[in-house]
Structure 1
């Protein structure tokens, strides 16, 4: 198993790297977020361990860049920021797991092993399916129970993003960033309006609701 460690504290990085090596794993280390992004984008790793507080870049931003670049390698954020709000921010940014310092290596090892057993993410698949809903990414067609559903471009992009992240909370901010490219909240009903239209097409004609609102938090798609 190949592991990439992006950590600017050399003592911590050496400890992690040596521990993985002792367990028969291959560990590569860099202290630079930029170098970490380059390695993660151009080499194959089974798991990436990313420090949250790096000198030139917040680890959250690095994770977002990797996910936007369609790098689906499992990522663990390793950081001294262990409050609930920090964990939520890390997971919403696209990390698969979040471990606060100080930590026991046995726990980190268990988390790495768990992530490595997960099936690959769906970012590179052609057809996305959930219950009786299907989305073909090559033809950009959507069907439910065999019935073709006509979607406007933004409605399609929202549905695709939700289906790429099934059973996961997707916030208004995430949709604004991913679909419209906004790095701020324009304080409009843009997201709500498009979600309402999407639901009218995807859910309303059928007897099972797939797109759900988590009040005050965001949306998720689940069967």
Structure 2
């Protein structure tokens, strides 16, 4: 059953994607779409500054940058597509590097293997860890492909095509990746631990929150 919290988060996410599509496809987007576009970047910058050892100077620098963007917000309106592009291509690239960087060691060190240990308390055998390594590889390829397509469409294709990729196809294919992985796992590892799609997503959040804690 979908919780109220997850339903609210999903609604906010869909609204943001809708705003992103409007902001990147109309010649002179509404001012509110520009401001909303800066929310994820601003939040990420503030969070990174807060966790840094140089907290005070980085927070001041971040706030100064935000103030500067607010002053020139009308000029930024005609280039707001860049804001959404940096977020999409940057996120895909960062996720691809995050997953791919864990593929060089043992199967148990792959990111999906480590996430599996969060949700599955019992020891995982070599077969299961080999599978989660392959899942990590699949996610790496997915994110790398998404990043390349984002760059190619933004610079060499119509902006509408890029916006469809970023705001429509990306959330759909992300969902399909989770669904496909679940059914493939049940077929390849029928005797393995039962882990739902929701539990997988929750485990990933718990894992990232744990690793981000100083």
Q: Which has the higher helix share?
A: 2
Q: Which has the higher strand share?
A: 1
Q: Which one scores higher on RCO, CA 8 angstroms, separation ≥ 6?
A: 2
TM-score of the pair, normalised by structure 1: 0.29
